[in-house]
């Protein structure tokens, strides 16, 4: 039986696709902005996240979010 993965942190964008968790971060792919982006949320407070496709090359969690979004056919 596969365990269902759930977000750990509150996230208020219904346009985001949850991609799972990694190192205490919830990973998302979002198409809501003027260009697609990846997000790594690490808390419930509004600004408790990092994002940006351009940072995926140098940030561990955003790189993982981009990889999962690509695997899922979102990118």
**pTM score:** 0.90
Structural domains in the chain (count): 1
Q: Is there a domain that residue 38 lies in?
A: yes
Query: Is residue 75 within 8 Å of residue 69, measured between CB atoms?
Result: yes
In which domain, by residue range, is 42 found?
A: 16-71
How large is the average pLDDT for residues 42-56?
95
Q: Is there a domain that residue 6 lies in?
A: no
Q: Is there a domain that residue 11 lies in?
A: no
Q: Is there a domain that residue 66 lies in?
A: yes
Query: Is residue 38 within 8 Å of residue 66, measured between CB atoms?
Result: yes
pLDDT-derived band at 47 (thresholds 50, 70, 90) equals very high
């Amino acid at each position: 039986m596969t365990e269902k993965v759930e977000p750990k942190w509150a996230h208020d964008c219904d346009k985001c696709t949850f991609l799972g968790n990694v190192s205490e971060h919830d990973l998302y792919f979002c198409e809501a902005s003027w260009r697609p982006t990846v997000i790594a949320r690490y808390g419930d407070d509004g600004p408790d996240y990092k994002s940006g496709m351009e940072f995926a090359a140098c940030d561990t969690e955003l790189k993982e979010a981009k990889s999962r979004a690509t695997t899922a056919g979102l990118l």
